[in-house]
Amino acid sequence: MITVPVPLAERSYDVHIGTPAVDEVANVFARALGKTSGVALIIDGQLAQISPRAAALSEALGKRFPGCKTYRLPAGEAAKSLAEVERTCQWLAENGFDRGASLIAIGGGATSDHVGFVAAIYLRGVQFAICSTTVLGMVDASVGGKTGVDLQAGKNLVGAFFQPRAVVADLGFLDTLPRREQAAGLAEVVKAGLIADADLLSRLEVDAAANRIFSEEALLHAIAAAVRVKVDVVAGDERESGRRAILNFGHTVGHALESESAYELLHGEAVALGMVAALAFGGHRGVTAPGLQARATAILSRIGLPVDVARRVTPAVLARIEVDKKRAADRLKFVFVPRAGEATLQDVALTELQRTLPEALAAGAVSG
């Protein structure tokens, strides 16, 4: 296992990445949670049904934490509602969990976002830990302490910053994760390489070209490197005031594409397209080195992610690009990647982005 420490003073914890024996996962949680009055395993209901490893892990946790109880959440995003949060809290209360209890989330980003938020608010806060079972969950959702759920008005509108006591990014779960979900998670790994780790990008390039990017070995290193990037960025900016914004690379246009597709596109797919757009826009403005767009496009398409952004950036998509709420009404902080492994924020007028992006995409010859 590779261990990446998350240094956040008294809220510090470790992310353990690998394919450990299930007993070892249970031991990691036992060490991190320490003395606890009770343990609730809160698991993605679909995962519980289809994953043999989920059954084995539950059994190991049952031995390590005698008397622990299991709660099954609706699969994926369906867990991210206030109604489901209420249901989980109600279940915890009915089962006698007190302030000294611990929650263990087993699932992808939706599960850890739900459980983290419940942990933040149940009895004004109980400790929790995460066993992450998706690539996106491992490299993004389980690191950084953002928790929360959706409203009808939009995604992630209600939440809290709340750090787990430990995270296990358990690659043993990826056998059952559909290839499309794995690829979508890898979009955030490519992002990490582009904004902060040139070696990671080179490695992805080699592994993608050799068609071994989904091998356990390649995934282990790629996921660990991406976790390090996210940890470095959030450790310097826990509450998202400055540098953490570079993690939004590819997300300005990505979010617009994601919502315009009515969530037909997976988040990572939209981010892949958004990164190609951001590199084209950067190239057009002379910020991004020539050739980087082509390099990134090659890696993304080898992973199986969509890159045909020129065709997809319609006037409706451009109209959906959101400005930064904290800034002047018509301006946004756009994340550019000047060269592999570097990111910079620049103030851009929304109208300029909307006007120039189609030209930049046409010039970049990124066609469908």
Ligand X SMILES: NC(=O)c1ccc[n+]([C@@H]2O[C@H](COP(=O)([O-])OP(=O)(O)OC[C@H]3O[C@@H](n4cnc5c(N)ncnc54)[C@H](O)[C@@H]3O)[C@@H](O)[C@H]2O)c1
* Residues that are catalytic: 124, 146, 188, 230, 240, 244, 248, 251, 255, 267
Which one, 192 or 280, has the nearer CB to ligand X? Answer: 192
Token pair of 199, please?
Answer: 């070696």
- Measured at CB, which residue is nearest to ligand X? 109
- Beta bridge pairs of residue 321: none
* C-alpha of 43 from chain center: 18
CB 358 within 8 A of CB 313: yes
- Which runs of consecutive H residues, i.e. helices, occur in the chain? 22-33, 45-50, 52-64, 82-94, 109-121, 135-136, 179-196, 198-209, 216-235, 251-260, 267-284, 292-303, 309-312, 315-320, 350-363
Amino acid at 330: D
Which one, 79 or 225, has the nearer CB to ligand X? Answer: 79
Q: Which of 244, 195, 220 is nearest to 4 (CA)?
A: 220
Please report, to the nearest 10 degrees, the dihedral formed by the alpha carbons of residues 104, 105, 107, 108 taken in order: -140
Task: State the Cα–Cα distance between residues 165 and 209, nearest whole angstrom.
Answer: 38
Task: State the Cα–Cα distance between residues 69 and 309, nearest whole angstrom.
Answer: 46
Q: What is the largest CA-CA distance in the chain?
A: 63
Q: What is the smallest separation between the CB atom of 363 and ligand X, expressed in angstroms?
A: 31
Which one, 135 or 348, has the nearer CB to ligand X? Answer: 135
Q: What is the smallest separation between the CB atom of 39 and ligand X, expressed in angstroms?
A: 21
Which one, 50 or 210, has the nearer CB to ligand X? Answer: 50
Which one, 38 or 145, has the nearer CB to ligand X? Answer: 145
Token pair of 68, please?
Answer: 């622990």
Q: What is the smallest separation between the CB atom of 149 and ligand X, expressed in angstroms?
A: 9
Q: What is the smallest separation between the CB atom of 53 and ligand X, expressed in angstroms?
A: 8
Q: What is the smallest separation between the CB atom of 184 and ligand X, expressed in angstroms?
A: 7
Burial 135-156 (b: 16+ CB within 10 A, else e): bbbbbbbbbbbbbbbbeeeebe
Q: What is the smallest separation between the CB atom of 356 and ligand X, expressed in angstroms?
A: 28
CB 218 within 8 A of CB 212: yes
- Beta bridge pairs of residue 170: 18
Q: What is the smallest separation between the CB atom of 152 and ligand X, expressed in angstroms?
A: 15
Which one, 44 or 205, has the nearer CB to ligand X? Answer: 44
Q: Which of 211, 210, 191 is nearest to 201 (CA)?
A: 191
Residues at the site binding ligand X, with contacts judged by CB under 6 A: 44, 46-47, 50-51, 75-77, 80, 107-111, 113, 133-134, 136-137, 140-141, 144, 146, 155-156, 173, 176-177, 181
Which one, 80 or 312, has the nearer CB to ligand X? Answer: 80
CB 25 within 8 A of CB 60: yes
